[in-house]
Amino acid sequence: MTDKCETVVVHCMDYRLQRYLNNWVEENIHPQSYDRISIAGGVYDVYDVMRQVDLAIRLHKIKKVVLINHEDCGAYGFEGTNERHSVDLRNAREKISKLFSHIDVDLYYLNLNGTFEHID
C-alpha cells in the first residue's frame, strides 16, 4: 500500500465504458495511487485535458499519465475513426511530454466490447 499518487487516468464520461474502465484500473493501477479524470471525449479537447493533468502533476506529484479514448465516442461523432483517435492521443502525449518531460504517457483505445488496445 502506498500513500503516494503515481498515475492520473483520463477517459471519457460515457456510461457504456465505466465498468470496463473500473476493471482495467483495478487490474492495472496500484490502488489508492491514482487520480481519475472523466471528461467528455477523452482527449478530444486537449487543452481541457492539459489543464486537469497539470493540476494532478502539481498537486499530487504524479509520474504517469494514462490517456484512454474509445470507439463510437459521441464527442467525435463521424470524425471518430481509429486513425483520428490515434492521432489525437499521440498529439496529447506530445503536448504533455513537451511541458512535463519527466512524465510517462501511456495511450489506449477502448473498444465498446471492453477490449483495450495499447497505442504506441
Comparing CB distances to Zn ion, the nearer of 31 and 77 is: 77
Could you tell me which residues come within 8 angstroms of residue 115 by beta carbon, excluding any fewer than 6 positions away?
none
Calpha distance 79→76 (Å, rounded): 5
- What stretch of H or E contains 34? strand 34-38
Q: What x-and-dash track marks residues 57-96 binding Zn ion by CB under 5 A?
A: ----------------x-----------------------
Calpha distance 92→2 (Å, rounded): 28
Site membership for Zn ion, residue 37 (CB under 5 A): no
Comparing CB distances to Zn ion, the nearer of 12 and 107 is: 12
Binding site for Zn ion (CB under 5 A): 12, 14, 73
